[in-house]
Chains A and B, each alone.
Chain A
Amino acid sequence: MEKRELTCIVCPMGCQMEVEIQEDNRILVFNNTCPRGEAYAKKEVTHPTRVVTTSVPIKGKNKGQVPCKTKKEVPKEKIFDVVKQLKRVSVELPVFMGDIIVENIAETGVDVVATCTVKEEKES
């Protein structure tokens, strides 16, 4: 049997949970205060996932960025594949919030979308 301690990140409460992985692969979660915590713990010990947020440059512009994110969570081990693929990406304006920037990034089945509407060159 394997024991792990996890800090729940579903909400700001940050419950300190204990997770037991039984011989038969059953997973038991303790010290969680809500069902969402239990679900998170189970997922975290089997296949942890994260939303990746970053930004991409605007095509033809020297500076200014369009913020973006993976529309859903991607496997944690794919995080760097996601940003590495985005290294080669720039976007043309205008961009609207929710526009797909890259489909199926890093073979995760998840799209990267813009998280901000940018209509003209953003001067800072």
Chain B
Amino acid sequence: MKTYDIVIIGGGPAGLAAAVGAKNSGCDSILILERDKELGGILNQCIHNGFGLHTFKEELTGPEYAARYIEKVQQLQIQYLLNTMVVEISPDKVITAMNGKEGLMEISAKAVILAMGCRERPRGALNIPGYRPAGIYSAGTAQRLVNMEGYLPGREIVILGSGDIGLIMARRMTLEGAKVKVVAELMPYCGGLKRNIVQCLEDYNIPLKLSHTVVNIHGKERVEGVTLAQVDENLHPIKETEEYIPCDTLLLSVGLIPENELSLEMGNEMGKVTNGPIVDESLETNIEGVFACGNVLHVHDLVDFVSSEAETAGKNAALYVNGRKAKEKMHLIPIHHEEGVRYTVPAHIHPENMEEKLTIRFRVGEVYKNAFIVVYFDEQQVFKKKRSFMAPGEMEEIILRKEQLLDFPQLEKIRVRIEKE
């Protein structure tokens, strides 16, 4: 059986940055397993620009951003296998994988980094009634067909959900000659980034209907139209507002789910809101030596944050392999997400094992204007930051300092909450 210090599951932005982080922290025995035919993951089909403002201080397209990390991986001579599907990871870190060339193989690792990314929520999860004809695609599937293969899945499009991929695809389909009739969003706020509303919808006069949803799909063989309706405050469709919109295609951009089948099978504890593994300050899961980063951990808006998170995971995996201090005896403090905060990553921390600064990322549950992010150590307020605008579609972060935490040796919990003025 082949043995590596670190095996990284997934060669997308998270896996690539994790590999770079691990290598730069002194680990030489690294293997990336990628199921697709090239490295870069979903970035390869994200041919729009807007990537890398934080990491490289310039605006890159998806393939360009990926190329920067692929180049690093190649320069650092990190090994990778393409077209290789991981079938199983055992709790003692034996990975079963396969491809057409090498067949079924088993690889043993000292540390594993989970970087499998996420997938799109399908129609079934939404219980949209109606027929099941051709012409219903998730936005990502349409993105692949258009951007990688040059095929137009349809000509008259309705998009349900205002996630970023949906917004991006509204512009892409328009530029390729399709007519995007409307983007409907169930919630009273947009699910994607503001810049995408401006650049993808407003630029092309595509209407965005908030508090609207598709209540029926028509057409037996190919989509012929959808019925759109406004929803009330309980998100129930209002019958009188129903409107028939003829179209040949319905694109769904209704959320992303971390791809955690492997993590679950190997016994990782999962967060109920994130659907990703619960991790500590090292981005280590409940299984020692198993780390997680990127969209498999929680769905990000910006690849830049995926990269920085993944580099941290890589670095910590390298520290683990090179014999870091055992954590069992360290003080573990839970981070409670309260009032308005849906979750935090990490979900608990060992201050002793922390670096000087630790970024805590989270999402809020609704739209806030002029509200405060407040952090309490037990009952004592230690941090308060005003934010003029916060929305569920945009990830927030705070920074915890080690020195501050060490001042509270008896600390039982850290609380993060949103407070209004």
Instruction: Determine whether A and B are in direct contact in the complex, meaning some CB atoms lie less than 8 angstroms apart.
Output: yes
Q: How many residues of B contact A (CB 8 A)?
A: 33
- Distance in Å: Cβ of A15 to nearest Cβ of chain B: 8
Contacts known (A57-B150, A64-B148, A115-B63); A69 close to B195, Cβ less than 8 A: no
Contacts known (A53-B47, A116-B44); A97 close to B148, Cβ less than 8 A: no
In the bound complex, residues from chain B placing their C-beta under 8 Å from that of A117 are: 67
Alpha-carbon distance A54/B146, docked complex (angstroms): 9
Whether A67 lies near B47 (C-beta < 8 A) is yes
Whether A53 lies near B61 (C-beta < 8 A) is yes
- Distance in Å: Cβ of B413 to nearest Cβ of chain A: 30
Partner pick for B61 among A57, A69, A76, A123, CB 8 A cutoff: A69
Size category of the A interface is 20 to 34
Besides A7-B194, A64-B150, 11 new A-B residue pairs in contact (Cβ under 8 A), listed by A number: A9-B194, A12-B193, A50-B199, A54-B172, A55-B47, A55-B147, A65-B149, A65-B150, A76-B203, A97-B67, A115-B61
Q: Judge if A1 is at the interface, Cβ distance under 8 Å.
A: no
Q: Judge if A124 is at the interface, Cβ distance under 8 Å.
A: yes
Q: Judge if B49 is at the interface, Cβ distance under 8 Å.
A: yes
- Distance in Å: Cβ of A114 to nearest Cβ of chain B: 9
> What is the interface of chain A, defined by CB distance below 8 A to chain B?
7, 9, 11-12, 14-16, 50-55, 57, 63-65, 67, 69, 76, 79-80, 83, 97, 115-117, 122-124
Q: Judge if B242 is at the interface, Cβ distance under 8 Å.
A: no
- Distance in Å: Cβ of A113 to nearest Cβ of chain B: 10
In the bound complex, residues from chain B placing their C-beta under 8 Å from that of A65 are: 147-150
Q: Judge if B198 is at the interface, Cβ distance under 8 Å.
A: yes
Q: Judge if B151 is at the interface, Cβ distance under 8 Å.
A: yes
Alpha-carbon distance A53/B47, docked complex (angstroms): 7
Name 5 interchain pairs, CB-CB below 8 A, sorted by A: A7-B195, A53-B49, A55-B146, A64-B150, A65-B148
Whether A54 lies near B47 (C-beta < 8 A) is yes
- Distance in Å: Cβ of B141 to nearest Cβ of chain A: 12
Residue of B nearest to A123 (CB): B37
- Distance in Å: Cβ of A67 to nearest Cβ of chain B: 4
In the bound complex, residues from chain A placing their C-beta under 8 Å from that of B203 are: 50, 76, 79
Alpha-carbon distance A57/B152, docked complex (angstroms): 13
Q: Judge if B28 is at the interface, Cβ distance under 8 Å.
A: no
Contacts known (A12-B302, A83-B175); A116 close to B389, Cβ less than 8 A: no
In the bound complex, residues from chain A placing their C-beta under 8 Å from that of B61 are: 53, 67, 69, 115
Whether B194 lies near A14 (C-beta < 8 A) is yes
- Distance in Å: Cβ of A7 to nearest Cβ of chain B: 5
Q: Judge if B5 is at the interface, Cβ distance under 8 Å.
A: no
> What is the interface of chain B, defined by CB distance below 8 A to chain A?
37, 44, 47-49, 53, 59, 61, 63-64, 67, 144, 146-151, 172, 175-176, 193-195, 197-199, 203, 301-302, 388-389, 394
How many A-B contacts at CB < 8 Å in the complex? 85
In the bound complex, residues from chain B placing their C-beta under 8 Å from that of A115 are: 47, 61, 63-64
In the bound complex, residues from chain A placing their C-beta under 8 Å from that of B388 are: 15
The 9 closest A-B pairs by CB, nearest first: A14-B194, A9-B195, A67-B47, A116-B63, A115-B61, A65-B150, A53-B48, A63-B149, A7-B198
Residue of A nearest to B60 (CB): A115
Whether B195 lies near A122 (C-beta < 8 A) is no
Contacts known (A54-B176, A116-B44, A116-B63); A12 close to B301, Cβ less than 8 A: yes
Whether B149 lies near A67 (C-beta < 8 A) is no
Partner pick for A124 among B48, B149, B194, B198, CB 8 A cutoff: B149
Whether B64 lies near A64 (C-beta < 8 A) is no
Residue of A nearest to B202 (CB): A7
Alpha-carbon distance A65/B151, docked complex (angstroms): 10
- Distance in Å: Cβ of B111 to nearest Cβ of chain A: 32
Alpha-carbon distance A115/B49, docked complex (angstroms): 10
- Distance in Å: Cβ of A45 to nearest Cβ of chain B: 13
Contacts known (A7-B197, A11-B53); A54 close to B148, Cβ less than 8 A: no
Whether B148 lies near A9 (C-beta < 8 A) is no
In the bound complex, residues from chain B placing their C-beta under 8 Å from that of A14 are: 193-195, 389, 394
In the bound complex, residues from chain A placing their C-beta under 8 Å from that of B63 are: 67, 97, 115-116
Contacts known (A117-B67, A124-B148); A69 close to B49, Cβ less than 8 A: yes
In the bound complex, residues from chain A placing their C-beta under 8 Å from that of B148 are: 55, 64-65, 122, 124
In the bound complex, residues from chain B placing their C-beta under 8 Å from that of A12 are: 53, 193-195, 301-302, 394
In the bound complex, residues from chain A placing their C-beta under 8 Å from that of B176 are: 54, 83
Alpha-carbon distance A97/B302, docked complex (angstroms): 22
- Distance in Å: Cβ of A99 to nearest Cβ of chain B: 13
In the bound complex, residues from chain B placing their C-beta under 8 Å from that of A16 are: 389
In the bound complex, residues from chain B placing their C-beta under 8 Å from that of A63 are: 149-151
